[in-house]
Structure 1
Amino acid sequence: MTQYKMVKTLLTLSMGAMLSISALAKPTVMVVATGGTIAGAGASATNSATYTAAKVPVDTLINAVPQIKDLADVKGVQALQIASESITDKELLSIARQVNDLVKKPEVNGVVITHGTDTLEETAFFLNLVVHTDKPIVVVGSMRPPSALSADGPLNLYGAVALAASPESKGKGVMMFMNDTILAARDSSKRINIHTNAFDSQWGALGMVVEGKPYWFRQGVKRQTNNSEFNIEDIKGDSLPLVQITYGSDSMTPVAYEAYAKAGVKAIINAGTGNGSVPNYLVDTLRNLRQQGMIIVRASRVQDGFVLRNAEKPDDEYDWVVAHDLNPQKARLLTALALTKTNSTKELQRMFWQY
């Protein structure tokens, strides 16, 4: 072998070794698919709002974005195949247990959950409360199905994998990612049901992902993940204490509240007007329910702001709880988890302040 051939061979072997090391160095990101619009299909490319959700399996979602292989070693798990409006506490618990099992594996660096947008915020917030890890967990969806013109799912998935693969994402709690924007699971919600910028938070984004790189601007201060007193491993069975929401308006009646009581509901989240207001003609109904043992939580139907304790109504006197800045759907989840531990309204109010 000539000296030239020897050098060429050594260079080839060296480059191959470097490529192998590079491949080994890639983080491992698990994509947990649950269905939703991001896995939907319309009859034609112009059907961006009329389509069937939860049709595309996880491997097809991953293979449709080959560029994510440059970011991480990506593997898929089909946890569910469902439109997110049909998710119940049973499915929430199942998702949480599967994600919890994945983050406990040393070889897994991050997890991405593909999810329908209708209840994406609930699943993200629930995971934020019950999965103990500092590994990145990112919940991602889309507003247009893969079959539509300008589908937003592929780029959303690419950005979510980039976020989950980044070491800088560790310890920031469960995140929601869509439309290039990194949002906290705790305080973000769906604000519009048509546009691709469907989600927002009154407290602002955590950051953005631009061309596969996360940029950070703030961090949450509330208890979450590793700092949470709730743990999916402590919850047995496939249900949570039954908590329901009533929606405030003018001309209300006590019928819904009384029906919930007969159905065995343990707590009612009253999504009141303004500052979580309860109309005077319903106060006696709610006070009677509280005396019977039902938890009453005053939340607001208003998107932003927060409910002040002992404003509008004397919460201390009535032994009611206020949801602070959590929206009614997130208040429902925190209340249900709280009821797995305590029936104390003082303890529940503490949790609303801390989470």
Structure 2
Amino acid sequence: MTLLLVATGDTIAHRTSSVASGRDLLELAGPPPARVVVEDMLAEPSWDTSTTTQLALARRVRTALADDEFAGVVVTHGVDSLEETAFLADLLAGPARGGIVFTGAFHSLAAASPDGPANLAAALATAADPAVRGAGAVVCLAGELHAARYAAMVDTRADRVTSAPQPMLGRVVEGRVRLTSTPPPRPPAAGSEVESDVALIKTYPDMPPSLLTTVTDLGAQGVVLEGTGAGNVPVELFGAIMELSQMNIPVVVASRAHTTGIGMTERLGAIGACGLSAQKARLALMVALGSGGGVKSARRYFESLA
């Protein structure tokens, strides 16, 4: 069995005056559960990550499992946008049967108690475990396993992520994976191409509809709106949503509370985000539009995620 470790730097690799390589991190994590091939990939800090970098990582995960026949892939990533890159990798992985694990650190190697080495050791153990093969991308932090579809960092002071309102996928205990819930259904097969020009807008009272038309005038091929708990958006936006839908520019409405409804906007042509956060709905829309097709293609894709 051979695993691939893709190291992107960021907090997990930060020393006082240098950055640890992927090989350095592997040595700090202790004896791996299988042979590991290491690749270092240059990336921006995760708080400033680019779509180009996220796509490069997601595509490398896909090819590593499908073409290079690695049994599993571990990606070290900054925690600020880890959940998003992991979900994009999940969407592009298709039916790949290998383990896909993203990990990182809240405390650098220069800290009194760095968490990176233990997180990497747990991530490698997870990627090598048959229990997660075919389960899609998994986020591994602090010994906890979260499906990439549900993982979210909600409190940096707690040094952890959550799957709420869904259950956590499992834990890593003494180097062994213990799944405590069923992985989410796999997304539909997708090509490696995506439409990166998709806008994300958080709605607010009295929001002018010109914000929607401005982003599409600037080239956005789709728009994700984050609405209220029930998925509603201000009535001022109704006309713009209908207009964009008629122009074959999909408008996806996500709920800030991860509910599946989209209120009255469905009859205007809007598409529900199927409980995805607004950030992840944007990634799903990018993938949905990768092969073209506009509103019809996007609607069919999101319906398949339900």
Mark the runs of 5 or more structure 2 residues left unpaired by the alignment: none
The one-character-per-residue Cα deviations of 1:185-244 (angstroms, maximum 9, x if unpaired) are: 1122111122222343321111100111111112224224xxx32032xx2xxx634101
The answer as to whether partners of 1:270 and 1:276 remain within 8 angstroms in 2 is no
Residue number in structure 1 paired with 2:138: 175
Query: Is 2:25 the partner of 1:75?
Result: no
Residue number in structure 2 paired with 1:154: 117
Query: Max radius of gyration: which structure?
Result: 1
Query: Is 2:189 the partner of 1:229?
Result: yes
Normalised by the length of structure 2, the TM-score is: 0.91
Normalised by the length of structure 1, the TM-score is: 0.79
The answer as to whether partners of 1:96 and 1:130 remain within 8 angstroms in 2 is yes
Q: In structure 1, the residue corresponding to 2:3 is in which secondary structure?
A: strand
Q: Give distance in 1, aligned partners of 2:296 and 2:256.
A: 23
Aligned length: 304
The answer as to whether partners of 1:141 and 1:156 remain within 8 angstroms in 2 is yes
Residue number in structure 1 paired with 2:182: 219
Residue number in structure 1 paired with 2:295: 345
- Which of 170, 186, 211 is the equivalent residue of 2:149? 186
Q: CA deviation at 1:114?
A: 0.3
The one-character-per-residue Cα deviations of 1:26-64 (angstroms, maximum 9, x if unpaired) are: x32221012222123458xxxxxxxxxx93321221122
Q: Give distance in 2, aligned partners of 1:259 and 1:203.
A: 35
Mark the runs of 5 or more structure 1 residues left unpaired by the alignment: 1-26, 44-53
Query: Is 2:25 the partner of 1:61?
Result: yes
- Which of 114, 124, 129 is the equivalent residue of 2:86? 124
Q: In structure 2, the residue corresponding to 1:191 is in which secondary structure?
A: strand
Residue type matched to 1:308 in 2? G
Q: Give distance in 2, aligned partners of 1:100 and 1:307.
A: 29
Residue type matched to 2:207 in 1? M
Residue type matched to 2:76 in 1? T
Residues 291, 271 of structure 1: alpha-carbon distance in 2 compared, 3 angstrom cutoff: same
The one-character-per-residue Cα deviations of 1:231-286 (angstroms, maximum 9, x if unpaired) are: 32xx2xxx634101101222322342232022111111001122221111222232
Residues 281, 185 of structure 1: alpha-carbon distance in 2 compared, 3 angstrom cutoff: same
Q: Give distance in 1, aligned partners of 2:161 and 2:148.
A: 14
Q: Give distance in 2, aligned partners of 1:271 and 1:78.
A: 35
The one-character-per-residue Cα deviations of 1:156-200 (angstroms, maximum 9, x if unpaired) are: 101000101112221211111101111111122111122222343
Cα RMSD of the aligned pairs, angstroms, is 2.1
Percent identity for Structure 1 against Structure 2: 29
Q: Give distance in 1, aligned partners of 2:15 and 2:206.
A: 41
